[in-house]
Amino acid sequence: MAFAHLLEVDDIHSHLAVKDGTVRAVDGVSFKVDAGETLGIVGESGSGKSMTALSIMRLLPRSGSIVQGKVTFKGRVLTELSEDEMEAIRGTEIAMIFQDPMTSLNPVYRTGWQVGEPLRIHRHVDTRTSIRAAADLFQKVGIPDASKRVTQFPHMFSGGMRQRAMIAMGLSTSPSLLIADEPTTALDVTIQAQILELLRTLNRDYGTATILITHNLGVVAGMCDRVIVMYAGRVVEQGRTEDVFARPEHPYTWSLLRSIPRLDADEHEPLKPIDGSPPDMVRLPAGCKFTPRCPFAIPRCAAEEPELLTVRDQLSRCWVTQAGATLDGDQGG
Amino acid sequence: MSNAPAIVAAQEPIRRTPVAVLELLRGHRRVAASFVLVAILFLVAVLSPVMSPHDPLAVSPDSSYLPPLTPGHVLGTDELGRDLLSRILWGARVSLPVAFVAVAVGLFGGGLIGLVSGYAGGITDLLLMRLVDALLAFPGLILAIAVVAALGPGLRNAMIAIGIVAVPVYARLVRAVVLQLKQMEFVVATRSLGATPLRLILRHLIPNLLNPIIVQVSLSAGFAILAEATLSFLGLGAQLPTPDWGQMINSGASFLNNDPWLAIVPGAAISITVYSFNLLGDSLRDALDPRLRS
């Protein structure tokens, strides 16, 4: 294809109007996704991961809007398309699956009918054909007894099966980009593994590029080629997954990795949470937003916000590491 | 597990598992019983011209004030010698259509307000809901009487008045369900697969509204029957000589001491009808409650 990248997100700013002000939910996020690649976006609740995804889809809640920036997909600028043109892209070129499989299917329709809906909307096939296609898709995503399952209602499906059905719906039109917003958060651990395995298989077999949004670093380590770490609506670190995990260059990533409980830890060794709590998104501190919780902070951090610059093999938004210092295991706290 | 083994499932014919009305009637006896009652009422309304032993308007002064169980007049006759059974049967043709038009007015008016209010939110919601609050502030019958007083008496205006009384109930109900549905991820999910907002509302939100609406329709049909009878009793609804239950009670009330059946018989007809609709609504509410569904 003639495009340099499948998806290019360029300096997106999305704001949400809330009761006591404006939340800069996405504040200058840029990244690229190539065909067939898997990109992970991690961050805690409220860091802007989902809002970034919804900005790409242009499905922000009514109180939200993209105030600046550009999203380019296959050479087309999504942020400049009309709503009609955007509707033609949603569900054909870009599909999205959601966190809560319990509510992401419409309870009053049979699953086959729903999974076939993108085909009816975009390919204008009739209901019978679309349900038959849904049965085929059910087989592909590992739902047994597909021809019977398509006639059942969502409440007759388990959580894992519903998420499979959602994935089937996302895949029905062979999109080139799949955005998975915390697809395994609401599932049992064993089912999580199966769903991730399924996503990996589909990514490999169909070459569907995937943006995987999660707060689970383990998921990123197992699934993603590259990772973006978000904090307070900004990208704080970005790089190849191995690089970021082997040697984080932002204190937030460093703290996240350190807070994972380890099996080989000494007995009675306490867990290491990140001190403090996420910032108030309406009244963000000046300077680097992580400063109040950062064990490495220097005076400059609170005064001036750093840029996202190359540090070693990745990009990091941190004065300390940009100055050449290393984030040492036992410092701070 | 992810490389689905080729279960040759898709070649098998796809058959729907039966649900819907028959299943509902089979599984819930109260629904079935009240459904039969309401069906009988409709049948009576449709067939009253054939079923009535006499012309409901035929006056015969010779046979007035005949008590019930008189041969030829099972329910007796009124002060003008008109056959009560025939008048009751014909009365169903007045009450039921009035109730249904009134419910339809309430459902479409209120449903539209609720849908717009819940979906749009913000200032639109605020303004529409204050309007609904204003309507809700009046007791139902007083509002209906006021509306008829403004529009003038008659069956058509009674229908409109009762419908207006039902509007806030439907507006509140529909808005509440839409707000609840908007929280569910399938709303964004449906938009994310390329559905237009119109398709989302028509194909995905409205079908989810049907259960609560069906229940509310049967309940407010009971109310509408009663309200119509009340308006007619007060002379604001059906006009003479239309055989109407409320109006029959009104004229029968004068003879309560000597010939009480003149008022009791139409009263019983109203009671049975209202009870049937309420029973249907009540049992449907239990049967359709998703929390009780397996």
Give the rounded distance of the alpha carbon of A63 from its chain centre. Answer: 21
What's at A11, amino acid-wise? D
pLDDT at B145: 94
Angle ∠(A72,A74,A75) on CA atoms, nearest 5: 60
Overall average pLDDT of the A99-110 stretch: 88
Tens-place pLDDT, residues A244-284: 999 999 999 999 998 888 888 788 888 888 888 888 888 88
State the pTM of this model: 0.82
Tens-place pLDDT, residues A115-142: 999 999 999 999 999 999 999 999 989 9
CB neighbours (10 Å) of residue A104? 28
pLDDT at A143: 93
Domains of chain A: 7-230 (3.40.50.300), 247-322 (no CATH)
Overall average pLDDT of the A195-207 stretch: 89
Q: Report the distance separating Cα B64 and Cα A298, nearest Å.
A: 106
Contact list in A for residue B192 (CB cut-off 8 A) is 57, 59, 90-91, 95-96
Q: Report the distance separating Cα B145 and Cα B153, nearest Å.
A: 9
ipTM of the complex: 0.82
Kindly report the average pLDDT of chain A as a whole number: 90
User: Helix crossing, B245-253 with B206-233: angle to 10°?
Assistant: 30
A183 close to B (CB below 8 A): no
CB neighbours (10 Å) of residue A105? 27
User: Where does residue B102 rank: exposed (0-12), middle (13-18), buried (19+ CB within 10 A)?
Assistant: buried
Contact list in A for residue B17 (CB cut-off 8 A) is 151-152
Domains of chain B: 22-53+100-292 (1.10.3720.10)
Q: How many residues does chain A have?
A: 333
pLDDT at B20: 63
Tens-place pLDDT, residues A276-312: 888 888 888 889 999 999 999 999 999 999 999 999 8
Can you give the pLDDT of all 294 residues of chain B as single tens digits? 334 333 334 445 565 555 567 777 777 888 899 999 999 999 999 999 998 888 888 888 888 888 888 888 888 888 888 999 999 999 999 999 999 999 999 999 999 999 999 999 889 999 999 999 999 999 999 999 999 999 999 999 999 999 999 999 999 999 999 999 998 889 989 999 999 999 999 999 999 998 899 899 999 999 999 999 999 999 998 888 889 999 999 999 989 888 899 999 999 999 999 999 999 998 988 887 655 554
Residue tagged 């380019």 (tokens): A72
Nearest by Cα to B199 from A87, A161, A299: A87
Query: How close does chain B come to A197, measured CA to CA in Å?
Result: 7
pLDDT at A330: 52
Please report which helix (H) or strand (E) contains residue A8, including its range.
Answer: strand A7-18
End-to-end CA distance of chain B: 29
DSSP string, A37-73: -EEEEE--TTSSHHHHHHHHHT---TTEEEEEEEEEE
| Partner-chain residue, chosen from A99, A104, A136, that has the shortest CB–CB distance to B10 | A136
Q: Are A115 and A140 in contact (CB under 8 A)?
A: no
pLDDT at B37: 93
A110 close to B (CB below 8 A): yes
**Closest chain A residue to B186, measured at CA:** A104
